[in-house]
Structure 1
C-alpha cells in the first residue's frame, strides 16, 4: 500500500510526516527549507510510493483563511503543476503547532530542545497526518 505524506508548509521551513506502508502510523519524516521542498518531494516520490499528500490549510478561529493562506495557496499551485497526478487533500491545521509544542512538553523535552522550531513543524505535520488517519478509519 502506498504512503500518505503530510506537509506543514511555512514561509521558511516545512515539516513533513509520512505514514508507514500500511497507512496505520504517522511518523515525522523531516523538516526542510521551504525553498527546497519541491526538490525534496521529487526525490522522496522517486524512492517511495506515495498515494496522496495532505497540505495544511490555515484558518482563523472563525473558519476564515488566516494571513498565511495566500503563501500556502501559492505553494499548492506550484505543487499541482509539478505533481499533476498526485492526489492532494487540504486539511485544517488549526492548533497543530500549539499541540506540537505541548507534545514536546509532555514528552519531557528540555526548554532548549523545545525551542527547535524545525522539530515543532515536523511534529505539527505528524499530528495533522495522524488526525487524518484517525478520521479515515
Structure 2
C-alpha cells in the first residue's frame, strides 16, 4: 500500500510527515526549507509510492482564512501541476503548533529543544497526518 505524505507548509520551512507502507503509523520525516520543497518532493516521490499528499490548511477560529491560507493554496496549485497523479487533501491545522509544543513538553524535552521551530513544524506535520488518518 502506498504511503500518505503530510506537510505543515510555512514561509521559511515546511514540516514533513509520512505514514508507513501500511498507513498505520504517522512519523516525522523532518523539515525542509520551503525554497527547496519541490526538489525534496521530487526525490521523495521517486523513492516512495505516495497515495496522497495532505497539506495543513491554516484557518482562524471562526473558520476564516489567515494570511497564510493563500500561500498554502498557491503551493497546492503548483503541486497539482507538477505532480498531477498525486491527490491533495487539505486538513485543518488549527492548534497543531500549540499541540506540538504540548507534546514536546509531555515527552520531557528540555526547554532548549522545545524552542527548535524545526521540531515544532515536524511534529505539527505528524499531527496533521494523524488527524487526516482518523477522519478517513
The TM-score, its normalising length taken from structure 2, stands at 0.98
Is 1:27 the counterpart of 2:48? The answer is: no
TM-superposition CA deviations, 1:62-89 (whole Å, max 9, x none): 0011111111122111111111111100
Task: Name the CA distance, whole Å, in 1 between partners of 2:21 and 2:72.
Answer: 27
Give the structure 2 partner of residue 8 of structure 1.
8
Give the structure 2 partner of residue 69 of structure 1.
69
SS at match of 1:21: coil
Give the structure 2 partner of residue 110 of structure 1.
110
Give the structure 2 partner of residue 84 of structure 1.
84
Gaps of 5+ in 2: none
Give the structure 2 partner of residue 38 of structure 1.
38
TM-superposition CA deviations, 1:85-109 (whole Å, max 9, x none): 1110011000001100000001000
Give the structure 2 partner of residue 56 of structure 1.
56
After TM superposition, where is structure 1 displaced by more than 3 Å over at least 4 residues in a row? none
The count of corresponding residues between Structure 1 and Structure 2 is 136
Gaps of 5+ in 1: none
Give the structure 1 partner of residue 119 of structure 2.
119
Task: Name the CA distance, whole Å, in 1 between partners of 2:133 and 2:70.
Answer: 26
Task: Name the CA distance, whole Å, in 1 between partners of 2:89 and 2:72.
Answer: 13
Task: Name the CA distance, whole Å, in 1 between partners of 2:48 and 2:22.
Answer: 13
